[in-house]
Structure 1
Amino acid sequence: MRLYYIITHKKMMTSRIILLAFSFITYISGFSQTKGDKLFDSTKIHELRITSKTDPNLYQTLQDDVDTPDDRPYYQVDMKFDGEKIESVGIRTKGRSSARREQVPMKIDINEFVPDQEFDGMKKINLTNSYVDEFRQKDRISYELFRRAGVPAPRSSYVEVYVNDEFINIYLLVQQIDKTFIKDHFADAGSLSKYTSKHKRELKYGLDVFGNFGDMHLGDINPQLFQEVYFRDFLKFIVINDVIKAVDNFPHTNYYTYYSEKSKLFHFLPWDYNFTFRGDVNAGTIQPRWQLDIIWNTPEYKKLYLEVACELSQYLFDTSFIEELISNNEAVMASNSQGVTVTSAAELRTWIDKRRGWLQDQLTIEGVSCRDYSYPLQPGDLVINEFVASSDNTGGIQEPDGGTPDWIELYNNTNQDIVLDQHFYLSDDIDFPKKWNFISEVTIPANGYLILWADRDIHQQGIHTNFQIKKSRGNLLLVYEDLTIIDQVNYGAQELNKAYARVPNGTGDFMIQDPTFNTNNEPVLSIDDQIKDKVTIALYPNPVKETLKISTTSKVKSLTLYSLMGQELAQQTKVTEEMNVASIPKGTYFIDVQTVDGNSEVVKFIKE
């Protein structure tokens, strides 16, 4: 038997990078384009031209539709975005109060007239008019704060809008929360509902999501309801709503609820935040608004609520992040080609800065001493060590529930156990680093490994992420609560039944090789060139279900079982001509037969 070693002495240099703004992380090396990267590139102002072949007064028609909010038709038009044309899309007026302004908000449905038609991976997009927002930034900043906290929220960018070649104004282009959005952020399609003052969602409790707001207080709701809510993210959702003083949102209107059939949990998704960052900056207390008495009066809920507020107080309104985001928004809008004046956001900066202080003061008033939520480890302690993005039934690793899904291996480079809790996140989206987190604590032993199944099957045995690994090219990020990038892998096209692994193990650069599932990435056992053209040792039955028998002219000294990837699975030194393989999963294996006369041979067999 011959072993070969892939040797490299180049060490991986891991940088501890804090993400200041999601809007700018596309500049990190190795960026891989994902859905919406054209539409929602926030580093420049875009151009959107809407042309009607049948209505020369289309914009006036859209203005006239303001008075029929419940019966607004889509009009068939052509759309050109930054010079890229797409024909036969639908456009209509959107909004209620916001629609009654000279600058009409609009919704574009790209697949309204052509089924399943998409543009940049999107089927619907929104053009908002920044109603009651003189800075044109409140919606965008709000969404970025939610995304920064790990609450799924729309992406956005600024765009000059023209209708039949007439310049209308600068709009904020906002991603639609729809099936496409859900698929990109969650493990299953589930059920999605929009909550407005007109449309209310009822659960099996016979109540709206948090009670009938017209007739009862939230404190009257059934406490069991909280067992069906992704509670920690819900607390982030309501804390952020309170801190930014969102008065036209939860719980009365303007939010979505999503129910996952796999996790059996509800998620709350933010929507429409022009009525924010306004009013007396020192008003209110940290106690949840809207009669959420059950949270404040239940010690375990209150404790978690204050812990979440502590976390957010340490990174959400980071001064550098806020300044970079606002300044970029101003610069992008100011670059418009039509000379539209952009209102200085100095007042907005001041309000947010004071509100940051308000949050810290409120925690002090409650007697809360917040612990440090900075990343607790050193660079290189915890790494993404290996992953497989493409496998089949013949060469893939089988998960506990069957199948051969994508998988990711984490490695602990230290001589101490590392506990991963809900503050550790993994993502395949560089624009949303907090896509999936560890809900329950998991320990990686010293110099040990942890396998994550990247298959969206979060309801199955083991640890499963809510995303699959992109096979063509992409990114994997391991991130901490404070947005420290623990590790990041940028990769190209992946090969079937091959791994992308660090060599040397835990520290080296990545290379494509045979998988070394849950074990050291080196040495790798080369088997293919060990199989002789002339087989002197026979196996039977082959395929085998339980007992594999060996036929040879000499007595057997030892039998060693290997996976298809060359990893040793079992060794049998007792003199015998058979091996029980009933317990190993179905697949292809090799057995190394050593005989007492010093000969050895590697023979392939199939377990069925």
Structure 2
Amino acid sequence: MKHFLYLLLCISFFRSNAQGLYDVAHITEIRISFVENNWDQIMDANYSNDLDERLIGTVSINGINMDSCGVQFKGNSTYNPSNAKNPLNIKLDHVKKQNYQGWETLKLASGRNDPSALREVLSYELLRNYTEAPLSNFARVYINDKFYGVFSSSESIDGDFQERYLYANDDNTRVKCNPLSVFGDGSSLKYYSEDSSDYFSYYEMKSDYGWNDLAGFCNHLSKDGGEIDKYLDVDRALWMLAFNNVVVNLDSYTGPFRQNYYMIKDYLGRMKPVIWDLNMSFGAFSMISTGGQGGNSLTKMQNMTPYLRENDSNWPLVNTLFTNPTYKRMYIAHCKTMLEEQITSGLYAQRGQVMQDLIAPDVKLDINSTYSYTKFLNNLNTSISGSGGGGQSFCGITELMEVRKAYLETNTAFTALPPAITDLLFPSKVVTNTAFSIIANISDATNSFVAYRHDGSELFTKIQLLDDGLNDDGMAGDGIFGKVFSNGISRPIQFYIYSENDNAGIFSPVRAEHEFHSITLSAGGLVINEIMASNTKTIQDQDGEYDDWIELYNNSDATINLENYKLSDKLDALDKWTFPSATIAPNSYLIIWADEDQEQAGLHCNFKLSASGESVALSDANGTVLDQVTFPILGEEKTYGRYPNGTGSFAELDPTYNAENSVSLATKTSNDFRVNVYPNPFNDKITVDSEHKINSLRIIDVNGRVMLSSNDGSKTISTSNLSPGVYILEINYQKVVKVVKI
């Protein structure tokens, strides 16, 4: 459904050659070796000097050794020289260029303010369903062969992060929104003046420049609320506020100190908020505010209004967005989606228990932990007292959320009835430059629109859905709304529908804009077909070198002359490399080596690809973008290619250099869980033959949409309503998930 497809996740999970750095189902093992025995004292002194000094050591991650790494303590409230263990920041590339699976920086949190040890990893997992947020899992850390403790390990929000997820170059403005002092305005996004120095005490600039961008944005926020979508990724901001409120994440913009988030400027000039530092989510930070709400009260957190900070000029982001009735309804729609999917369903508690079971043996051995093993076990469900005096109490995660769930479910904002969107019809594929329609039955609505774009580097264009009898919508006034795209498209389309009345709003799909419906091209045209960004032994160029490569495919029945076409790895500089005289025959492939070596024979462009993920764009001689793709971090010797070949969505593949792309998923992927699926091909049903009990089955199409599901333990699922095609069958058995192509 979204650009990082579920199919990709399935394939990469079962095909990776090594444990993923942020694989939440496994604990990452990190071993740090220093020559110095007094490493702790040295790093305390480095922290005290505040000169960003690092101690050089060797780091082993899941058995992969890297020397000359830089290590330092990190953290504000979580660091203390008297702590038995402190948070760590590790730069693998501190001295020389090296990384682990594409990541160069590791950030490890010690759990100082979280007796459950679960909040950071659990919260990031929940949040990533609705907006881009750091990957996170658990790590066991050894220093000089001595067990140092259990940590949460979370992806760094840096230049690589914004290139990987946010359609922003690594040098785009990146502001860390954490004030030097929690007293005062905090990182509130208030506008002071054009003078950059007015913002120095409230923000930290992590890019080389950007103070003018920050001041300009704050000015727009204070004056141009009606056009704020030109300067802010509004939907991402609404998801951030919804998350902060539903799961009571008050050490955030929503809380009294207005902190712990980033603002990153994308290609379109909009600021994108990104949440970070979730170790005190789920009520571990219990101060709500002054002015009537009070603080340090479990009851007040359980019953916290969903409109916290409304009409409060000290929180201008909330104030501006909630002044717009549509944005306010969108915010509540997001809150309801998050509540229903994660809290009401009980999924958050189930995932918390799975994570607790995973790390419990290591936590039991962690003599450096701030909290006892008993407190660790109890805090998932019940309040426990803190440590070090002060009388602080940390609420139980489920203790907080079960009461909060009941409060929100009966809140008038949540019980208000939105329109109903049913019978959504649209083509999953269209032929290039032909007309098509998007149609839906919508009841009890006063405003409905379809928002569409070609890819994540573009804004969604919003067009009213009409019930006028002129847009393939039947008769005027019959409750069927539609929009005819009469000019057709030459590139795939991503879209969602939003509808509202005076009381509430609703999205389709419900996770929009983070997820969306997709319309792909059926045939025709020149496309990027496959990308390899880490080629160390797969295929050599004509000079015997293992270089990155980009494969194009011609879907059409005519030869295409590529002279003066463009390729680029920067979406804001599409003409980075120009093709010399070259052609590509019908239904044929063409390889371009991405190696910055244009002196070699053949097609060698003037840029390399990043193994940590980036974008590639193809334009014609007139500068029109024909195709573009943003690829993620890939496994070793893997590619990112279209499946089906030439027309399908992208997934992680085994390399098929200059040949048809294919997906091969084994039905027997581990010794402890063997399955056979029959009949395959299927007709009206499909059955899983396994000696084990099955928890659930899901059938997912190639666009990532869940088409059918069964949670009753049955090993047979009815498929009579499915159209012919290729699907993924997901089989859940205890903590094991298998996928089979059917």
Question: If the length of structure 2 is used for normalisation, what is the TM-score?
Answer: 0.49
Moved more, 92-101 or 302-311: 302-311
Residue 358 of structure 2 is matched in structure 1 by 332
* Alpha-carbon distance change, 472 to 487 in structure 1, aligned in 2, over 3 angstroms: closer
How far is 1:359 from its partner? Answer: 3.3
Give per-residue Cα distances to partners, 1:412-447, cap 9 Å, x unaligned. xxxx999976449xxxxxxxxx999688x88789xx
Q: Which residue of 2 aligns with 1:242?
A: 245
Letter matched to residue 322 of structure 1:
Y
The aligned counterpart of 2:295 is: none
Pairing 1:496–2:655 present: no
CA displacement at 1:37 relative to structure 2: 5.2
Q: Does residue 1:181 correspond to 2:343, yes or no?
A: no
Q: Which residue of 2 aligns with 1:570?
A: none
- Report SS of the residue matched to 1:174: strand
In structure 2, which of residues 404, 417, 430 is the aligned counterpart of residue 355 of structure 1? 404
In structure 2, do the counterparts of structure 1 residues 475 and 281 end up closer, same or farther at CA, with 3 Å as the change threshold?
Answer: farther
Matched, 1:103 2:85: yes
Q: Could you say what secondary structure the match of 1:495 adopts?
A: coil
Q: Distance in 2 between matches of 1:508 and 1:493?
A: 24
- Name which of 252, 257, 261 aligns with 2:263: 257
Cα distance in structure 1, aligned partners of 2:121 and 2:153: 9
1:191 pairs with one of 151, 173, 183: 173
By how many angstroms is 1:184 displaced? Answer: 2.2
Give the aligned residue type for 1:298.
N
TM superposition shift of 1:124: 0.2
How is 1:17-28 mapped onto 2 (pairs within 5 angstroms)? 28=10
Letter of the structure 2 residue corresponding to residue 275 of structure 1: M
Give how far 1:36 is off.
Answer: 9.6
Question: Displacement, 1:145?
Answer: 1.8
Residue 53 of structure 2: aligned partner = 73
Q: Is the 8 A contact 1:103 1:168 kept in 2?
A: yes
Equivalent residue in structure 2 for 1:311, among 313, 337, 340? 337
Relative CO higher for 1 or 2, CA cutoff 8 Å, sep ≥ 6? 1
Answer yes or no: is 1:272 the counterpart of 2:272.
no
1:141 Cα deviation after fit: 1.7
Q: 2:261–2:273: 8 Å Cα contact kept in structure 1?
A: yes
1:299 CA displacement: 2.2
SS of equivalent residue, structure 1 residue 343: helix
Tell me the number of residue pairs that the alignment of Structure 1 and Structure 2 aligns: 429
Ranges in structure 2 where 5+ consecutive residues have no aligned partner = 181-202, 287-299, 310-314, 367-372, 382-395, 433-453, 455-479, 485-492, 498-510, 529-614, 665-680, 682-701, 703-722, 728-742
Q: In structure 2, what is the equivalent of residue 132 of structure 1?
A: 113
Q: Quick check: 73-82 or 464-473, which moved more?
A: 464-473
Q: Counterpart of 2:135 in structure 1: which amino acid?
A: R
**Percent of aligned positions that are identical:** 15
Which letter maps to 1:126?
Answer: K
How many Å apart are 1:107 and its aligned residue?
0.2
- Gaps of at least 5 residues in structure 1 are 1-15, 213-217, 387-400, 402-415, 425-433, 479-485, 511-608
Whole-angstrom distance in 2 between the partners of 1:498 and 1:231: 40
Q: Distance in 1 between matches of 2:663 and 2:137?
A: 36
Aligned partner of 1:194: which letter?
A: K
Within 2, Cα distance between the matches of 1:330 and 1:449?
Answer: 49
Q: Which runs of structure 2 are paired with 1:374-523 in the superposition (5 Å)?
A: 382=428, 422-423=495-496, 456-457=616-617, 467-468=630-631, 472-473=638-639, 491-496=653-658, 498=660, 507-508=724-725
Q: Contact conserved, 1:160 with 1:336, CA < 8 A, in 2? A: yes
Report the equivalent of 2:37: 56
Alpha-carbon distance between aligned partners in 2 of 1:268 and 1:239, rounded to the nearest angstrom:
13
Structure 2 residue 305 is the aligned partner of structure 1 residue 285 = yes
User: Contact 2:141 / 2:151 at 8 angstroms: preserved in 1?
Assistant: yes
For the structure 1 residues 456 and 258, does the alpha-carbon distance in structure 2 shift closer, same or farther, using more than 3 Å as the test?
farther
Take 2:650 and 2:618, find their aligned partners in 1: how far apart are those partners? 23
Letter in 2 for 1:265: R
CA 1:82/1:36 → structure 2, altered by over 3 Å: closer, same or farther? closer
Change (3 A) 1:38 1:472: closer
Q: Among residues 342, 349, 353, which one is paired with 1:323 in the alignment?
A: 349
What is the letter of the counterpart of residue 349 of structure 1? T
Distance 1:76 1:270, change over 3 A: same
Which deviates more from structure 2 when the two are superposed, residues 123-132 or residues 29-38? 29-38
Pick from 131, 136, 140: which aligns with 1:160?
Answer: 140
Query: 1:343 is aligned with what amino acid?
Result: L
The superposition leaves residues 483-514 of structure 1 with CA deviations (integer Å, 9 ceiling, x where unpaired) of xxx999664323327465999x984459xxxx
Verify the 8 A CA contact 2:428 2:518 in the aligned structure 1. Answer: no
Q: Structure 1: which amino acid aligns with 2:630?
A: F
Read off the aligned partner of 1:283 and give its amino acid letter.
Answer: N
* RMSD, aligned α-carbons: 4.7
Distance 1:143 1:437, change over 3 A: closer
Equivalent in the alignment of 1:87: 67
Tell me which structure has the larger Cα radius of gyration: 1
TM-score between both structures, scaled by the size of structure 1:
0.59
CA gap 1:311/1:84 in 2 versus in 1, 3 angstroms: same
Q: 1:66 to 1:437 in 2, by over 3 A?
A: closer
| AA at the equivalent of 1:258 | I
- Aligned-pair CA distance for 1:170: 1.0
Change (3 A) 1:435 1:125: farther
Give, as a single letter, the amino acid of the residue that structure 2 aligns with 1:192. Answer: R
Q: 2:417 corresponds to which letter in structure 1? A: S
Aligned to 1:467, the other structure's residue is in SS state strand
Rate the CA distance shift 1:253–1:225 in 2: closer, same or farther, 3 A: same
Specify whether residues 121 and 270 from structure 1 end up closer, same or farther in structure 2 by C-alpha distance, changes over 3 A only: same
